[in-house]
């Protein structure tokens, strides 16, 4: 068997040159001659931070002082002892180099690379020597490389950004160049493992398991490519899964072979909520003709069939993910890199973030095209948790050149990553790009392009071909949004997948009801990060929604203006930073609740909602549900409610109000519905009951009688709709026009073995009661939020992670305990 050896020790780092243009800051004097201990895997920024040489780029406005790092060339060097082991080959294997690298071993050039998204293997036997060896990897400034290529190929249109950066001229995580939620931190470094691999005779170069289910039979074709040191050696290849074993001979000279296995009646893998996630070990082994083991490969796989249903119908064409024959309504979220420095993201963090997604009933994550093909641990967690993964190829919001060297890099990167990720049953869809076809249609690109390439060849040809040749078990779709044809607008409501951004950017979330997309792959609303996260990152005195640090942690064009204009139709203008923080967060939760309830009520025609976005890469005001310090924003709690597989909602339809029961599960849902129209004061003005019967994976509408649905005083009444153990409320006016009573709450703090309980008894009607545990202790979290109580009702919150005892007085009011309208009490009534 071959032998692997990590080369992760004793690295140091030096700045070697400033590749910057245009008067950018040069290397600070203190760093110019410094030799810094380097972590491998890792990156320059985190090493400089660990050495105390730069301030934390995530804090205050530090990011802006650190632009020089991305404009500098960096040299990584290590020495290691090596003794010849008598093997045929010794390869240097680099799982990930970020990005423009020159590798030298003992002073001899080994290779140059220019793609963060690929791995590399080089035969270095001739450069190694017994005893001490020196390995040097020098990174050219990615910024300078991209700017040079842009100058060479000519600029291409990108997003409507105030600071256009050349991210489309380099195969590197695009959002490192800044995004409307991310800072500009252009990294460099050995971001994944780097190792020596010594091997003999032959090795497994690539294993592509084609896994599907036909007629109840699990079919696995392990398609293998072999790398030979000995061209003439006879080899055997075996593969085994679920006790079924197959073997083929690989004749001398042959470099590929396939083992086909059939597993009768395997347990099927399902997204959560639809079934279990059984995983089977697939073991592939390569041996010499005499039976000596040479190499092995193992991966957990899952048996499931997937297709994308895009069948034309009377209203357009569908976009439905069908797993094991069952059309799935995707309750999704978009995923961005969880850190600007992705080498910091390990298996535990991936697992925790995906668990947060699952806990909010999210069953699909879309890995967005401005980030990375995520690390194995991401997909492993998705396999285990039953979360479907839609993977974008890495193109976002810009025209991309189809010329050399980008074209060759794109194809190589696609071939490698499609093969790398195909063992994962969670991966169900490959998508060509994010918003580039839309950009071509609507963002004025065509005039600027004047006939030059922009990526169409990738999306319609290259990537489609790579998926079809490498992994024909998975569907490919050219873009998001895309209608399926260049004759139909890419963002057409009736076809394919859609993004809705006019709500946030120009209009109001009320316009969500003007759309019934077939599959909504992006829509979102901003809100600030949690208070603990904001105040860890920003130390402005005084802190305000527009103080310098807060503004630097708001990257969207006119983001604060949009937050304010988005509040105006719904809430009174907040006057303190604490009220701004609470009300903008609440409005974010309201916006997505409003949209998702509407879209899910059209289940059937619409078969998915993928919110923008689950997570953040640093502390920032953004569309995320979970902030950059992993804390859950009110939106997360709202998602857990509206993504409940069984949801009851009230929707205006045809001049009246309908109760809609939505059932994503495989069992019928039958419940008695009780509708009450109540005054905020508690009086019941009308009551009506009905039966709600919802078939599996279906919706049912029940019309509320007009007299029940019509208020006497729109400002002070609420419809309370109970369906079995689910409840929802409907209001006849916006918050700013509602006459909420001043909340009267009896609060009790009860220490408890699993945390601290806060029991809140409402003497008045209280809407969207929220307890902000992070205001008490940054380490604390609360189990629930946005709870509506009728007079006389009680709710108990559980706070976990408190590092100190808290008192009733601390908990009982703002800023810890908040509710809708509590900051809007007219000044005359305020205490």
- Nearer CB in complex with ligand BMA: 390/680: 390
**Binding of ligand BMA at residue 180 (CB under 6 A)?**
yes
| Contact with ligand BMA (CB under 6 A) among 133, 200, 310, 434 | 434
- With CB under 6 A as the contact rule, which of the stretches 48-56, 179-187, 378-386, 641-649 interacts with ligand BMA? 179-187
Cα(99)–Cα(41) distance, integer angstroms: 13
Q: Are 337 and 178 in contact (CB under 8 A)?
A: no
Q: Which of 435, 522, 597, 717 is catalytic?
A: 435
- With CB under 6 A as the contact rule, which of the stretches 73-81, 175-183, 631-639, 749-757 interacts with ligand BMA? 175-183
- With CB under 6 A as the contact rule, which of the stretches 109-117, 128-136, 174-182, 471-479 interacts with ligand BMA? 174-182
Cα(88)–Cα(622) distance, integer angstroms: 53
Q: Is 254 a catalytic residue?
A: no
Q: Are 259 and 237 in contact (CB under 8 A)?
A: yes
Cα(640)–Cα(579) distance, integer angstroms: 24
Q: Are 522 and 610 in contact (CB under 8 A)?
A: yes
- Nearer CB in complex with ligand BMA: 180/363: 180
Please report how close the Cβ of residue 711 comes to ligand BMA at its closest, in angstroms.
37
Residue 126 buriedness (CB in 10 A; 0-12 / 13-18 / 19+): exposed
Q: At what angle do helices 634-642 and 577-601 cross, to 10 degrees?
A: 20
Kindly write out the interface string for residues 263-302 of this chain, putting x where it contacts ligand BMA by CB under 6 A and - elsewhere. Answer: ----------------------------------------
Kindly write out the interface string for residues 364-393 of this chain, putting x where it contacts ligand BMA by CB under 6 A and - elsewhere. Answer: ------x-----------------------
Kindly write out the interface string for residues 560-599 of this chain, putting x where it contacts ligand BMA by CB under 6 A and - elsewhere. Answer: ----------------------------------------
Kindly write out the interface string for residues 520-549 of this chain, putting x where it contacts ligand BMA by CB under 6 A and - elsewhere. Answer: --x---------------------------
Q: Are 705 and 791 in contact (CB under 8 A)?
A: no
Task: Find the DSSP H helices in 485-558.
Answer: 502-505, 531-537, 548-552
- Nearer CB in complex with ligand BMA: 502/800: 502
In sequence order, the 6+-apart residues with CB closer than 8 A to the CB of 576 are: 823
| Contact with ligand BMA (CB under 6 A) among 47, 338, 435, 540 | 435
Q: 201: left (phi > 0), else alpha (psi -120 to 50), else beta?
A: left
Cα(824)–Cα(73) distance, integer angstroms: 54
- Nearer CB in complex with ligand BMA: 384/435: 435
- With CB under 6 A as the contact rule, which of the stretches 142-150, 177-185, 276-284, 376-384 interacts with ligand BMA? 177-185
Kindly write out the interface string for residues 599-618 of this chain, putting x where it contacts ligand BMA by CB under 6 A and - elsewhere. Answer: -------------x------
User: For the sheet containing 326-328, what is the strand order?
Assistant: 306-309, 320-323, 326-328
Cα(296)–Cα(317) distance, integer angstroms: 45
Cα(408)–Cα(241) distance, integer angstroms: 36
- Nearer CB in complex with ligand BMA: 179/571: 179
Site size for ligand BMA, by CB under 6 A?
Answer: 11
- Nearer CB in complex with ligand BMA: 200/436: 436
Q: Are 550 and 542 in contact (CB under 8 A)?
A: no
- Nearer CB in complex with ligand BMA: 434/554: 434
Residues 391-420 that bind ligand BMA (CB under 6 A): 396-397
- Nearer CB in complex with ligand BMA: 501/688: 501
Specify the DSSP element, H or E, that contains 47: helix 44-50
Q: State the Cα angle at 327 between 320 and 303, rounded to 5°.
A: 105
| Contact with ligand BMA (CB under 6 A) among 179, 341, 580, 772 | 179
Q: Are 721 and 730 in contact (CB under 8 A)?
A: yes
- 432: nearest Cα among 368, 523, 341, 498: 368
Cα(199)–Cα(85) distance, integer angstroms: 9
Kindly write out the interface string for residues 475-514 of this chain, putting x where it contacts ligand BMA by CB under 6 A and - elsewhere. Answer: ----------------------------------------
Residues with a catalytic annotation lie at: 435
Q: Which residues bind ligand BMA (CB under 6 A)?
A: 179-181, 370, 396-397, 434-435, 522, 612, 623
């Amino acid at each position: 068997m071959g032998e692997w050896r990590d080369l992760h020790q004793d690295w140091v780092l030096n700045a070697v040159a400033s590749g910057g243009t245009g008067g950018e800051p040069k290397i600070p004097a203190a760093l110019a001659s410094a030799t810094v201990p380097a972590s491998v895997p890792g990156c320059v920024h985190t090493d400089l931070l660990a050495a105390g040489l730069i301030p934390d780029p995530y804090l205050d406005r530090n990011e802006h002082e650190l632009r020089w790092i991305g404009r500098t060339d960096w040299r990584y060097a290590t020495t290691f002892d090596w003794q010849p082991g008598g093997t045929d080959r010794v390869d240097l294997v680099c799982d990930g180099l970020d990005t423009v690298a020159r590798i030298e071993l003992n002073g001899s050039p080994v290779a140059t690379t220019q793609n963060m998204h690929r791995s590399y293997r080089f035969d270095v036997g001739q450069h190694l020597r017994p005893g001490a060896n020196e390995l040097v990897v020098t990174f050219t400034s990615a910024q300078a490389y991209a700017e040079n290529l842009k100058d060479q190929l000519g600029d291409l249109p990108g997003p409507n950004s105030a600071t256009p950066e050349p991210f489309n001229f380099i195969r590197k995580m695009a959002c490192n160049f800044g995004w409307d939620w991310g800072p500009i931190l252009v990294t460099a470094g050995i971001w994944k493992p780097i190792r020596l691999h010594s091997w003999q005779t032959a090795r497994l170069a690539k294993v592509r398991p084609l896994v599907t289910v036909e007629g109840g039979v699990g079919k696995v074709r392990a398609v293998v490519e072999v790398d030979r040191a000995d061209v003439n050696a006879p080899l055997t290849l075996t593969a085994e899964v679920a006790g079924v074993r197959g073997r083929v001979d690989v004749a001398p000279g042959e470099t590929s072979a396939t083992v086909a296995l059939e597993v009768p009646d395997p347990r099927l893998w399902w997204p959560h909520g639809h079934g279990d996630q059984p995983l089977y070990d697939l073991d592939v082994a390569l041996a010499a003709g005499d039976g000596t083991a040479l190499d092995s490969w193992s991966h957990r796989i899952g048996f499931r069939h997937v297709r994308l249903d895009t069948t034309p119908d009377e209203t357009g064409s569908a976009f439905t993910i069908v797993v094991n024959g069952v059309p799935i309504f995707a309750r999704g979220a978009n995923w961005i890199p969880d850190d600007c420095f992705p080498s910091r993201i390990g298996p535990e963090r991936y697992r925790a973030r995906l668990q947060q997604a699952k806990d909010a009933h999210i069953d699909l994550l879309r890995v967005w095209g401005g980030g990375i093909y995520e690390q194995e641990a991401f997909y492993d967690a998705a396999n285990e948790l039953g979360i479907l993964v839609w993977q974008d190829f890495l193109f976002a919001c810009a025209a991309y050149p189809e010329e050399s060297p980008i074209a060759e890099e794109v194809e190589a990167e696609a071939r490698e990553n499609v093969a790398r990720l195909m063992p994962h049953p969670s991966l169900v869809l490959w998508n060509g790009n994010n918003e580039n076809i839309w950009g071509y249609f609507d963002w004025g690109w065509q005039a600027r392009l004047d006939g030059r390439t922009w990526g169409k060849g990738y999306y319609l040809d290259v990537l489609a071909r790579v998926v079809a040749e490498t992994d024909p078990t998975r569907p490919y779709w050219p873009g998001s949004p895309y209608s399926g044809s260049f004759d139909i607008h890419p963002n057409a409501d009736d076809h394919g997948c859609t993004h809705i951004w006019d709500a946030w950017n120009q209009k109001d979330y009320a316009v969500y009801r003007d759309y019934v997309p077939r599959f909504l792959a992006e829509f979102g609303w901003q809100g600030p990060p949690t208070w603990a996260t904001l105040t860890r990152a920003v130390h402005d005195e005084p802190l305000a929604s527009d103080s310098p640090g807060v503004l630097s942690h708001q990257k969207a064009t006119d983001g604060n203006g949009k937050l304010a204009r988005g509040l105006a139709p719904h809430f009174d203008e907040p006057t303190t930073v604490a009220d701004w923080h609470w009300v903008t967060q609440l409005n974010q939760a309201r916006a997505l609740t409003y949209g998702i309830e509407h879209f899910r009520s059209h289940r059937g025609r619409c078969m998915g909602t993928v919110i923008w976005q689950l997570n953040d890469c640093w502390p920032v005001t953004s569309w995320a549900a979970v902030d950059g310090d992993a804390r859950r924003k009110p939106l997360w709690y709202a998602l857990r409610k509206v993504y409940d597989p069984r949801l009851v909602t009230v929707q205006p339809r045809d001049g009246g109000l309908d109760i809609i029961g939505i059932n994503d599960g495989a069992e019928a849902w039958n419940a008695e519905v009780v509708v009450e129209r109540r005054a905020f004061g508690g009086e019941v003005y009308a009551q009506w009951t009905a039966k709600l019967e919802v078939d599996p994976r279906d919706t049912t509408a029940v019309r509320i009688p007009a007299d029940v649905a019509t208020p006497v005083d729109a400002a002070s009444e609420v419809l309370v709709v109970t369906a079995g153990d689910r409840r929802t409320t409907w209001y006849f006016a916006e918050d700013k026009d509602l006459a909420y009573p001043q909340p009267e709450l009896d609060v009790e703090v009860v220490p408890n073995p699993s945390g601290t309980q806060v029991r809140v008894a409402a003497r008045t009607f209280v809407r969207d009661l929220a307890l902000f545990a992070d205001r008490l202790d940054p380490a604390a979290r609360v189990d629930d939020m946005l709870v509506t109580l009728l007079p006389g009702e009680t709710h108990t919150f559980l706070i976990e992670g408190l590092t100190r005892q808290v008192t009733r007085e601390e908990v009982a009011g703002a800023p810890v305990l908040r509710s809708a309208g509590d900051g809007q009490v007219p000044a005359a009534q305020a205490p």
